Structure 1
Amino acid sequence: MPTLERTVPVGFDEASPSHRFVAELLAQADIQLDGRRSWDIQLKAPGVIDSALSRGNLGLGESYMKGDWDAAQLDELFYRLMRAQLGQRIKPTQLVYYSLRSRLLNRQTVKRAWEVGEKHYDLGNDFYAAMLDQRMTYTCGYWKHAQTLDEAQEAKLDLICRKLQLKPGMRVLDIGCGWGSFMAYAAEHYGVECVGLTISKEQAEFGQRLIKKGLPVEFRLQDYRNEHEQFDRIVSIGMFEHVGHKNYREFMSVANRCLKDDGLFLLHTIGKNLSNTVTDPWIDKYIFPNGELPTMGQVTDAAEALFVVEDVHNFGADYDRTLMAWHQNFEAHWPTFKDQYGEGFYRMWRYYLLSCAGAFRAREIHLWQLVMSKQGVLGGYHRIS
């Protein structure tokens, strides 16, 4: 097991009340300040604790990006923090601002919805190609029988096709199609035609490569609220996290409007346990602007009177393994991108991937697939896994 040498930064007061408070709190998760285990926090500069106490994960994440603290295994550190639910015992003052902003403002309006495409998904196709699988699938893989990331992603895509009961000639709408991995797979293996919606120019341009291969897929650079055609099937894989609670009902209404009466709709989304938690301020600022995770209750409330929920499948533990595979690829290819992005980006991206892996490992957040129909499948829907 890797260990770290103990270093005490100049000007750091181990006897301060905040240090004692945090040390006692972390001990409940078996984490030590300046300990020697791989998940222990190594303090490199003063002010880390006060920043974390006053600004929550925003302060903790920013101080990590600056190199003010470190841990050999960030994923294991965050797993222990979240499994012990330490975050629920601290109420940083600045989080009140984020809570009010989330409740009062619609942060996922049509105009704001494009921010995440520009800030996150438009980092560059080469960067994502190095981190992701060969199909460029930026969502949770399905590891039930898989040994590699490519196998896990293909298994997930096939699982969705089977759950949707795809047949040749069907037209499928993919809301938030990413780089088109699902559309390409479904077109190749199930003989369907696909229309994909994206708010990322980089993804739309990448999609032209699939069209040049002769696949019956179409990329539309538009917000989902502007779609009005009807389709035999609808899928949304990893996009609902960008919708926002004020728009959940409208999202479901659009899906209902665009789905034929005998169609099926599959929603693949990350979800959380508690409805009273706000969007993580660090993730919101640096990774996914205006993002928000739903609870299961919020999803089903939004679908009420519009859809019958036929099936619910939680395989969130597989996201831990997916994120760790992405991190392994990221580390392996970082020398290629080091000069382009810099050290601050490296620490930011590492913090993002590994903290999220820890959250899924702790079962703090989940991955749900819901299959829905407009009127209920006659005779019942048969579960596929």
Structure 2
Amino acid sequence: MERLLLRVLSRIVRRGSLTLILPSGHRETFGDGSGPPLAIRIASKDWERRIALDPEFEFGEAYMEGGLVIEQGDIGEVLATLMSQVGYQVPSFTAKSLMKLRFMVRRLAQFNPRERAQRNVAHHYDLDGRLYSLFLDADRQYSCAYFEHEGQSLDDAQLAKKRHIAAKLLFDRPDLNALDIGCGWGGMGLYLAENAAANVTGVTLSQEQHGIANARARERGLSERAEFRLQDYRDVAGPFDRIVSVGMFEHVGIGHYEEYFSKIADLLKDDGVALVHSIGRSEGPGITNPWIAKYIFPGGYIPALSEVLPAIERAGLLVADVEILRLHYAETLKAWRERFLAHEEEIERMYDSRFVRMFEFYLASSEMAFRHQGMMVFQIQLAKREGVVPLTRSYIAETEADLRGKERRNRIGLRLAGE
């Protein structure tokens, strides 16, 4: 297996400088010598065999379990070197066969009826609430931020994301009824209630998020405008003037796309506007990384637009606008990882060192996927008939400017009320 692993890395690493230290003591350096020198050590022959045969899964497994040790550099730098290689090819017959098999069974892995969907959500989102408060922004936005300029803080970029989405939803009059599918900890819904004077219904399958979202609504005096339910979106009754879904579509599963968009069409009024904000892949259909599927987002899948748009068409919805956010999520994940590592000792006390390595690997590998492997975020604006959305996109910037003024006024009001 030693020779196989060396052959695997020689086929992958053409640029950079990565030294591999094998259980036998053998050391070999790969790449052209550019960039910072990095070194990894494999702790045992068993891990050597497992990584060689199935690197897509076992590399993350080995790092999490301590079977792969970073001797020089950090896991983010190692993953950046591995994932940024130009012309990367699947390195072995076994790995190719596993990828083909995983593609063949991906619909089964993403089969998400109501009970399974709730279990999948609980797996990730019902962790100790303190964890997310340590690395997310103050509003607990657990989705891609919108960086308007270089150097913008994470909190400001997350606020800009909410503002950008609200502008595209066209809250042109007060008291519109809005549905937030996958409402998280309530940040998007509370923003719409507070700054767009909307009546918001948010739904989530996470008990942790449900409790916190309603508590936040009460604390901010918005309970009459914002209600958050522990409910599957498929069980919601409409209609609604506006529908928004941020960072939830990735959990739907490819076999449920038509069901998802048909439900949006059923719930949306004829003159309504909807917006879906989701991670996507710039290339064609693929598979969920098996390590991510097991430990982070079971049942999840990042779609290509070619898989999404046909389901929208079949649901009878019109695509009014598509925007691609390219490196925004890479910068978001970078900020999350920096904050996570700043609280590493505290998180280890909450869980253990294995959990810390698992979550660090998730954040680092996700960041590098956005930087180097064609991952992006799309925002698809939907309507049921022509003429609902203005002819040009100038209204977005104009509405954002108006929302900024409302944000300032509401922040002042909240400070006075708390004194």
Whether these two folds match at TM > 0.5 is yes
Partner of 2:88: 86
| 3-state SS in 2 of match to 1:139 | coil
| 3-state SS in 1 of match to 2:255 | helix
Q: Is the 8 A contact 2:110 2:300 kept in 1?
A: no
Note closer, same or farther for the CA distance 1:238–1:291 as it changes in structure 2 (3 Å cut).
same
| 2:348 partner amino acid | K
Cα distance in 1 between the residues matched to 2:249 and 2:182 = 8
Cα distance in 2 between the residues matched to 1:337 and 1:105 = 30
Note closer, same or farther for the CA distance 1:197–1:165 as it changes in structure 2 (3 Å cut).
same
Matches within 5 A, 1:228-307: 228-305=237-314, 306-307=316-317
Cα distance in 1 between the residues matched to 2:92 and 2:272 = 46
| 2:331 partner amino acid | R
- More off after superposition, 39-48 vs 138-147: 39-48
2:105 to 77, 101, 105: 101
Note closer, same or farther for the CA distance 1:131–1:162 as it changes in structure 2 (3 Å cut).
same
Aligned length: 371
Deviation per residue, 1:20-65 (Å, 9 max, x gap): 3123123324352335965734114134443223223211111111
| 3-state SS in 2 of match to 1:112 | helix
1:333 to 324, 337, 343: 343
1:364 to 374, 381, 397: 374
Q: What runs of 5+ residues in structure 2 fail to find an aligned partner? A: 21-28, 398-419
Deviation per residue, 1:317-374 (Å, 9 max, x gap): 0111100111111111222221221010000000000010001011421111111111
Partner of 2:50: 51
Deviation per residue, 1:198-235 (Å, 9 max, x gap): 01000001012123132111111111111121111000
1:378 Cα deviation after fit? 5.3
1:119 to 102, 116, 123: 123
1:178 to 184, 187, 211: 184
Cα distance in 1 between the residues matched to 2:304 and 2:4 = 33
| 1:19 partner amino acid | L
- More off after superposition, 318-327 vs 26-35: 26-35
| 1:257 partner amino acid | D
Matches within 5 A, 1:186-201: 186-201=192-207
Note closer, same or farther for the CA distance 1:87–1:206 as it changes in structure 2 (3 Å cut).
farther
| 1:111 partner amino acid | E
Q: Is the 8 A contact 1:228 1:257 kept in 2?
A: no
| 1:115 partner amino acid | R
Cα distance in 2 between the residues matched to 1:60 and 1:178 = 30
Q: Is the 8 A contact 1:316 1:363 kept in 2?
A: no
Note closer, same or farther for the CA distance 1:295–1:74 as it changes in structure 2 (3 Å cut).
same
Partner of 1:218: 227
1:206 to 209, 212, 218: 212
Cα distance in 2 between the residues matched to 1:353 and 1:337 = 15
Cα distance in 2 between the residues matched to 1:362 and 1:153 = 23
| 2:213 partner amino acid | G
Cα distance in 2 between the residues matched to 1:339 and 1:295 = 39
Cα distance in 1 between the residues matched to 2:161 and 2:184 = 15
Cα distance in 2 between the residues matched to 1:138 and 1:321 = 13
Q: What runs of 5+ residues in structure 1 fail to find an aligned partner? A: 1-12
Cα distance in 2 between the residues matched to 1:297 and 1:381 = 25
Partner of 1:27: 13
Q: Is the 8 A contact 1:55 1:95 kept in 2?
A: no
Tell me whether 1:310 sits opposite 2:314 in the alignment: no
| 2:365 partner amino acid | S
| 3-state SS in 1 of match to 2:280 | strand
TM-score, length-normalised on structure 1? 0.90
Partner of 1:9: none
Q: Is the 8 A contact 2:12 2:89 kept in 1?
A: no
| 3-state SS in 2 of match to 1:33 | strand
Deviation per residue, 1:223-268 (Å, 9 max, x gap): 1111121111000000000001110011000001111111111010
Tell me whether 1:151 sits opposite 2:151 in the alignment: no
Partner of 2:334: 324
Deviation per residue, 1:160-219 (Å, 9 max, x gap): 001111132111100001001101111111111111110100000101212313211111
Tell me whether 1:348 sits opposite 2:353 in the alignment: no
Note closer, same or farther for the CA distance 1:378–1:171 as it changes in structure 2 (3 Å cut).
closer
Q: Is the 8 A contact 2:5 2:51 kept in 1?
A: no
| 2:105 partner amino acid | R
- More off after superposition, 329-338 vs 284-293: 329-338
